[in-house]
Amino acid sequence: MVTPVAKLDELADPDDNDQLEAITAALATWAPGQVADPVQRVRNYLFVPAVIDVFQMPIERFVPLIIFNQLKTAMPKDQLEKILFWIAVHPDEGDTSAVDNLRPLGIDSAPSDMAEVRNRTGVYAVKLLGRLLGKIVQQ
């Protein structure tokens, strides 16, 4: 499955919990998550699950919810709605340098197919927007 998102009651493999906790902790100080432009900031956060999904890492289905929680606490809902919509319909815009700065999150390299990363970023924007608007019911 491309761009998976775990159900709220779904538990990660215990072997993956340390990596998920490390990502969660690192996001608080991750430089691309601190950029001034709010659209680019959200796009940078969405690159995280997109890259993990491209690499098909075992944690891929749990990372979107980590990012979703980060975004919901970092900005007002109405602003986040507009930004997620913008990214969903404009996935090919914005700077991609954050993809090369994932080492603090435990991802050592960037995928070679940036078009696929952008595509998946747009899909994650749609999925998170659906959750934010209540159109995708979280279980």
Residue type at position 10? E
Q: What is the pLDDT of residue 53?
A: 96
What whole-number distance in Å separates Cα of residue 8 and Cα of residue 95?
Answer: 31
Q: What is the pLDDT of residue 9?
A: 84
Q: Which two tokens stand for residue 84?
A: 């997620």
Q: pLDDT tens string for the chain (139 positions)?
A: 689 899 888 999 999 999 999 999 999 999 999 999 999 999 999 999 999 999 999 999 999 999 999 999 999 999 999 999 999 999 999 999 999 999 999 999 999 999 999 999 999 999 999 999 988 776 5
What whole-number distance in Å separates Cα of residue 123 and Cα of residue 129?
Answer: 10
What CA–CA distances, in Å, run from 50 to 46, 76, 110, 134?
Answer: 6, 23, 11, 22
Q: What is the pLDDT of residue 139?
A: 52
What CA–CA distances, in Å, run from 37 to 31, 33, 40, 118?
Answer: 13, 10, 5, 18
Q: What is the pLDDT of residue 2?
A: 80
- For the chain, which residues make up each domain, given as ranges? 18-132
